[in-house]
Amino acid sequence: MRPDHVWGQLHELLSSARERVVLVAPFIKKEVFAAAVAALGDRDVELLCVTRWGVMEIAAGVSDPEIAEIAERDPRVSIVLCHDLHAKVYVADERCLVGSANLTGRATGRRIPKNLELLVEVPVEHPEVQSVLEQIQQSAVPADAEMGRRLREQANLLAGDEDRPQVVVIADEAESIRTLWRPETRTPQRLYRVYRGLKCDFPSEILAGVVRDLAHLDVPPGLDETAFSRAVRTCLYGLPEVAALARKGSLNQVDLEQSILEADGCGEEVAQRAAENIAEWLKYFDEVRIVSTGPWEIRPGREFR
């Protein structure tokens, strides 16, 4: 098998396109994407690219949001994002390849050493192919160069941070091995502004903390503030200590700090700050109130003012 066998399959598929191409891959590198667009020549072929952009994955170097710059220059090309995407599907008119290969150098064999990958031609009418394409149509959100630049800035901040979450890269796939996360920023209302890429005059150390929180939360892109808050709330209740609030109907300071101490092996001051941050996030993102009972206690229901 030639080193560039997978790329040969893709190039032949793209070269055959006359009307429409759909490229579906979680990880796409700019150099390979540019080559894919170039394979269309000057033919008037619509190209839809479906991918995902995670800050950790961008920081790890397996995904380039700069592909949006290519789309910005070529009116034939558009990009949408599917947050939970794992499928690899390549469609040109009535032809279709499915398999394991992302649009990266090693996956396509354009870089050595290459990955061991597989692409198989199947009918585009195959029910599973159609099901994936329908789900993409229902859930995808548009992406543009401005969103790509914003995520690159966050990824650069994360990658340059000595305390960044650990990211392990295996071949072209990135599985984020997250350190045990607790909310870091004390002011949760900052999160949405940074998430949306709005102008923020936060000190760099505060901005870095917000970006770390967003990277761990891994919220889908393009949400309005209500949907964003709902997604963050879901992540919060994924913390074992906060899940106890749902089970018991209350969560007191002593138990919360003790649980963090036992789980994290940290000092008392760190556990106290983590507990206070969790309380602030719950007050902001959920309908809870803080009641002073000696040590404070979190209870369901809005706080009376």
Among positive and negative, which fits the CA dihedral 143, 147, 148, 154?
A: negative
Query: Does residue 14 come out as left (phi exceeding 0), alpha (psi in the -120 to 50 range) or beta?
Result: alpha
**Cα–Cα dist 280/10, whole Å:** 50
Question: Can you read off the two tokens belonging to residue 223?
Answer: 């949400």
Digitized pLDDT (tens) for each residue of the chain, 305 residues in all: 465 789 999 999 999 999 999 999 999 999 999 999 999 999 999 999 999 998 888 988 999 999 999 999 999 999 999 988 999 999 999 999 999 999 999 999 999 899 999 999 999 999 999 999 999 999 999 999 999 999 998 888 887 755 544 444 433 444 444 456 889 999 999 999 998 887 677 888 888 889 989 988 888 888 899 999 999 999 999 888 888 777 878 788 888 888 888 888 888 898 899 999 999 999 999 887 788 766 777 777 654 33
Which residue, 168, 298, 304, 170, is CA-closest to 243?
A: 298
Helical residues (DSSP H) of 116-203, grouped into ranges: 127-139, 145-159, 190-195
The pLDDT value recorded for residue 109 is 94
The pLDDT value recorded for residue 8 is 96
**Cα–Cα dist 302/305, whole Å:** 9
Type and span of the H or E element at 91: strand 89-92
Question: Which residues on neighbouring strands pair with residue 298, listed in sequence order?
Answer: 251, 290
What is the reported pTM? 0.78
The pLDDT value recorded for residue 2 is 60
Domains and CATH numbers, the chain: 5-149 (3.30.870.10), 180-300 (no CATH)
The pLDDT value recorded for residue 175 is 43
